A and B are shown apart, each in its own frame.
Chain A
């Protein structure tokens, strides 16, 4: 998308308080995206072995690493002092609901297909991380641009 300089009013685009606040925020989004990428990679590795004796070591390691990253991200977010917390929790709550429905549908498919126990446990763990990581990204990406006192 190109910008239309002639249509931009003067003073439109000067950094505001939220822009200046960005430098104080931890790298939540890159960590969350890496977490999601690891979960998706693990899911692909498991799904690619469907129907034969699956090697679960690498997907299990990916799951563990992504769980650690998610926890680290939660700690980083919790340590932010000046943040639009009401907005963050409002978006987080509704996004959690939406992504739990999506993860629930996928879990239903795996259970319905009588997925073997070890695979099911791995898939379930990945779905839990997916259903928490994405809402965390959505809530953070909204709250970071809101005034600290926003409700």
Chain B
């Protein structure tokens, strides 16, 4: 998304560009959509960090290094779980109580980062986790607690469908809506609800994953 990654400073410089023609600018006593700060849909400066993480993941898998695989799986899974829980149970209710301009400002700063962070954490956790399970023999059908591992596959599968089918599309749609000259605040609110609720659901499912993983790690 090269062009969408370009800052749209012009939109925030002039009220005429950010407001509908029929409504006065904010602060002039009228009612229009709140001003949207300039932002990049994809935070380009963070892409090298993502690339470095993915290269590290490939090296960890290629070398079958137990520490590296455990690191990527545990660090990725821990961050993924924490972020989901924090989003759904802490940040969601806070966002609901903010004014619309505050929500818009927060969204423009927060959502682009999530667009890179979440897929990277998911790739780290699942890629390293699969290889780790195969390396230590947990993936084998003869593993005594194989049923628990399959249960974790099911939970992760449900989370993946929710995250990829509902959460990510909502995230991206919000960002593109905010790039419009006249963003539809009601639509942004609806899409943000989908984002926050699905993050909360995946957060709760993450607790099931933690229970299974800690059970398996302690056997």
A9-32, CB under 8 A of B: which get 1 and which 0?
A: 111111010110000000001001
Alpha-carbon gap, A126 to B54, bound state (A): 21
A1: which of B93, B180, B184, B185 is its contact (CB, 8 Å)? B93
Alpha-carbon gap, A87 to B98, bound state (A): 31
Q: Does B114 contact A (CB under 8 A)?
A: no
Given contacts A51-B142, A105-B57, A142-B173, is CB(A1)–CB(B96) below 8 Å?
yes
Stretch at the interface among B10-18, B152-160, B211-219: B152-160
Q: Assess whether B185 is in contact with A12, with CB atoms less than 8 Å apart.
A: yes
Question: Residues of A contacting B160 with CB < 8 Å?
Answer: 36, 40
A31 to nearest B CB, angstroms?
11
B112-124, CB under 8 A of A: which get 1 and which 0?
A: 0000000100010
A135 to nearest B CB, angstroms?
10
Stretch at the interface among B78-86, B161-169, B201-209: B161-169
11 A–B contact pairs at CB < 8 A? A8-B185, A33-B166, A41-B157, A44-B150, A48-B150, A50-B141, A94-B1, A108-B58, A109-B130, A137-B168, A142-B172
Question: Residues of B contacting A32 with CB < 8 Å?
Answer: 165
Question: Residues of B contacting A112 with CB < 8 Å?
Answer: 61-62
Taking CB as reference atom, which chain A residue is nearest B99?
Answer: A7
Q: Does A52 contact B (CB under 8 A)?
A: yes
Q: Does A72 contact B (CB under 8 A)?
A: no
Q: Assess whether B141 is in contact with A12, with CB atoms less than 8 Å apart.
A: no
Residues on B lying within 8 angstroms of A by beta carbon are 1, 3-4, 23, 31-33, 42, 54, 57-58, 61-62, 92-93, 95-100, 119, 123, 126-127, 130-131, 134, 139-142, 146, 150, 153-154, 157, 160-161, 164-166, 168-170, 172-173, 176-177, 180, 184-187, 189, 192-193, 196-197
Question: Residues of B contacting A140 with CB < 8 Å?
Answer: 169
A145: which of B32, B42, B57, B173 is its contact (CB, 8 Å)? B173
Residues on A lying within 8 angstroms of B by beta carbon are 1-4, 7-14, 16, 18-19, 29, 32-33, 36-37, 40-41, 43-44, 47-52, 87, 90-91, 94, 98, 101-102, 105-106, 108-109, 112-113, 134, 137-138, 140-142, 145-147
Given contacts A33-B161, A44-B154, A137-B165, is CB(A98)–CB(B119) below 8 Å?
yes
A36: which of B31, B42, B100, B161 is its contact (CB, 8 Å)? B161
Question: Residues of B contacting A145 with CB < 8 Å?
Answer: 173, 176-177, 184, 187
Alpha-carbon gap, A32 to B168, bound state (A): 13
Question: Residues of B contacting A3 with CB < 8 Å?
Answer: 96, 189
Q: Assess whether B61 is in contact with A141, with CB atoms less than 8 Å apart.
A: no
Taking CB as reference atom, which chain B residue is nearest A35?
Answer: B165
Given contacts A1-B196, A36-B164, A102-B119, is CB(A43)–CB(B157) below 8 Å?
yes
Q: Assess whether B164 is in contact with A137, with CB atoms less than 8 Å apart.
A: yes
Would you list the 7 A-B pairs with minimal beta carbon distance, nearest first?
A13-B186, A141-B169, A9-B31, A51-B140, A1-B96, A33-B165, A2-B96
Q: Assess whether B140 is in contact with A44, with CB atoms less than 8 Å apart.
A: no
B161 to nearest A CB, angstroms?
5
